Amino acid sequence: MKNILIFPFLSISTGHHHVADALQAELESQGLAAEKIDIFSHSYRRLEKLSSVAYLKWIQYFPKTYSGIYRLLACGEFQHDKRYFMYEWLFTQQMRHILQEKQPDIAFCTHALPSYLLNRLKPEYPNLTVVNVYTDFFVNQLWGRKNIDYHFVPSTEVKKQLISEGIDQNNIYLTGIPVHRNFKMESADTLQHHPPYTIIITGGSMGVGGILKWVQELSPGGKILYKILCGRNEKLYSYVKSLHHPLIEAIPYLHSKAEMNRLYEQATGIMTKPGGVTISECLQKRLPVFIYHALPGQEEMNLNLLHERKLVTDMRNWDMQKAEEYIAAFFQSNEQRKEYKKHVNGYLGEMSDRKIEDVLKRIIWNQKNTLLK
């Protein structure tokens, strides 16, 4: 039996954890057990909780500062010899302990920090297979490169970037950002073509991102039924319920991916922030995406690429009083729908390794053969 570890980071329910869950579900469907480990909470439980709260507050109250520091530290041209000594000091020995205790055959990284650490430690563990699973539509400098065995990339742009940085193209898989197996792909045209259109508004479960202000500015005119996915945001849920509006519905926390999939199947489109996993789920379902806000850092970077490839509609500068008219016009326009479908099909068509279950089998089989040699 293979010993498999999956490394997200922090305990916040972000895309890193959703992708880790998706990988875990795929592996379990193949009869393989995989353990998720967050090295931060595993090593410094109390500090991790404080850091998670501080991280969310920083984004919420000082977004421009966070954006600037993120771009300075994580973006720009990749430097092979760049070191992050604070991370090494905090986590290298902790990662060694995990590897010695768990003795993994394969480690999947859904966050850049564990990837960086394992890239540094890999020479000490030559039989360990390390896989980067990217959860955004770009790759920052922190992700390990040189000693990583395989890369699951979100786009042809990222594949070209990694090849230019010296990665063997045979070790790169165009999987897209992995989504949970419950999110089955829909047929090419399931969109509703007459009002009222059902629009899901999501992206406010952690209480950051301005969703409450945005919902407060909604002015339903009868063409759209708004379903607000509130998650664990009690303030948002209470506010939406208090409206008692027939066209604005509060959706409480959903306990399973299957429930979320059913909600997607009721939808005509999605209003959200450009988180990698949410966007990938919508692309799989071929649901048009309207972006109302982008958090500093990763989401800003995602939006740049998504907008460039015309995979989303940026509505951040729309007149909110006219937003419903604009959205309804999109769904009523054959030309706009066909154009959207063309761009989404083009993107999905590039994902030559989209069947993640086949890629996992290939990697595990290769790893088994390597151990037998």
Q: What is the pLDDT of residue 60?
A: 62
Q: What is the pLDDT of residue 370?
A: 47
| Tokens coding 311 | 């995979």
* 51-96 residue pLDDT tens: 656 555 656 665 667 566 666 666 667 677 788 888 898 889 999 9
Q: What is the pLDDT of residue 269?
A: 96
Domain range list for the chain: 4-176+351-372, 197-350
User: Which overall architecture, per CATH, does domain 4-176+351-372 show?
Assistant: 3-Layer(aba) Sandwich (3.40)
Separation of alpha carbons 10 and 311, rounded Å: 29
Q: Answer for the pair 298, 273: CB distance below 8 angstroms, yes or no.
A: no
Q: Which residues of the chain have pLDDT under 70?
A: 1, 11-13, 42-64, 66-76, 78, 184-193, 204-210, 367-373
Domains 4-176+351-372 and 197-350 share a fold: yes
Q: Which residues, listed in sequence order, are joined to residue 248 by a DSSP beta bridge?
A: 226
Opening angle at CA 40, ends 96 and 301, nearest 5: 110
Q: What is the pLDDT of residue 204?
A: 63
Opening angle at CA 136, ends 131 and 138, nearest 5: 90
The single-letter code of the amino acid at 25 is: A
Written as one string, the DSSP assignment of 42-55 is HH-HHHHHHHHHHH
| Tokens coding 300 | 């800003």
Separation of alpha carbons 370 and 373, rounded Å: 5
Q: Residue 246: count other Cβ atoms within 10 Å of its Cβ.
A: 9
What phi and psi, each to the nearest 5 degrees, are found at residue 35?
-105, 130
User: Which overall architecture, per CATH, does domain 197-350 show?
Assistant: 3-Layer(aba) Sandwich (3.40)
- Identify the CA nearest to 299 among candidates 112, 63, 77: 63
CA distances from 17 to 57, 111, 129, 368 (A): 20, 9, 20, 27
Q: What is the pLDDT of residue 186?
A: 56
| Tokens coding 192 | 């509703």
Q: Answer for the pair 54, 24: CB distance below 8 angstroms, yes or no.
A: no
Q: What is the pLDDT of residue 295?
A: 82
Q: What is the pLDDT of residue 25?
A: 93
Residue written as token pair 């649901």: 287
Opening angle at CA 52, ends 49 and 58, nearest 5: 140
Q: What is the pLDDT of residue 286?
A: 93
Residue written as token pair 């989401």: 299
Separation of alpha carbons 208 and 57, rounded Å: 8
Q: What is the pLDDT of residue 49?
A: 59
Q: Answer for the pair 127, 99: CB distance below 8 angstroms, yes or no.
A: no
* 123-163 residue pLDDT tens: 999 999 999 999 999 998 899 999 999 999 999 999 999 99
CA distances from 275 to 226, 231, 303, 334 (A): 20, 15, 9, 28
Measured in whole angstroms, how far is the alpha carbon of residue 20 from the centre of its chain?
A: 10
